[in-house]
Structure 1
Amino acid sequence: MAELKPCPFCGHSRNLSIEDAGGIDRYVDGEPDGSIPTWHVYCGYCGAMGPEVLLKRENAVSAWNRRDGERDE
């Protein structure tokens, strides 16, 4: 898994964690059918949270590390 970049808001790189964001409910034919896991990165220093992403912790890291103006490679 890629290393987390420092927080884009406060610049700290300590106290960053990947957290379970609770998931979203899944429905099949209008009936509840469990949930889909969601994750986000949380900065324990300033309280910033990265975007909530589906399925994998690695997706939260990618979303957190993506900075405005940078191109995906």
Structure 2
Amino acid sequence: MSEGLKPCPFCGATNNHLQLRYIGGEVFFVACNECITEGPARKIQSEAITAWNTRAGEKA
């Protein structure tokens, strides 16, 4: 698992990684290597990690 990433919220896998993609410009997102889930795309790397680590019902 990449440093600072929570397990996948769907399958629980820890084999997750940050990816860079070009969608009208650079965007970052975290992806699960097990169930192929992708987190929300963000323009800033740290924001993509925060979005992945955010869980419904958790206090910030």
Smaller-chain TM-score bracket: 0.7 to 0.9
How far does residue 65 in structure 1 lie from its aligned partner after superposition? 0.1
Q: TM-score, normalised by structure 2?
A: 0.85
The aligned amino acid for 1:71 is K
Unmatched segments (≥5 aa) in structure 1? 25-34
Q: TM-score, normalised by structure 1?
A: 0.71
1:46 and 2:39 correspond: no
How far does residue 57 in structure 1 lie from its aligned partner after superposition? 1.2
> Who wins on radius of gyration, i.e. which is larger?
1
- Residue equivalent to 1:65: 53
1:1-73 map, 5 Å: 3-14=4-15, 16-24=16-24, 35=25, 37-54=26-43, 56-72=44-60
Secondary structure of the structure 1 residue equivalent to 2:31? strand
Q: Distance in 2 between matches of 1:59 and 1:51?
A: 9
The aligned amino acid for 1:44 is N
Runs of 4+ aligned residues of structure 1 deviating over 6 Å after TM superposition are: none
The aligned amino acid for 1:70 is E
Compute the RMSD of aligned alpha carbons.
1.4
Secondary structure of the structure 2 residue equivalent to 1:53? coil
Give the number of equivalent residue pairs. Answer: 58
Decide which structure has greater strand share.
Answer: 1
Identity percentage of aligned residues: 34
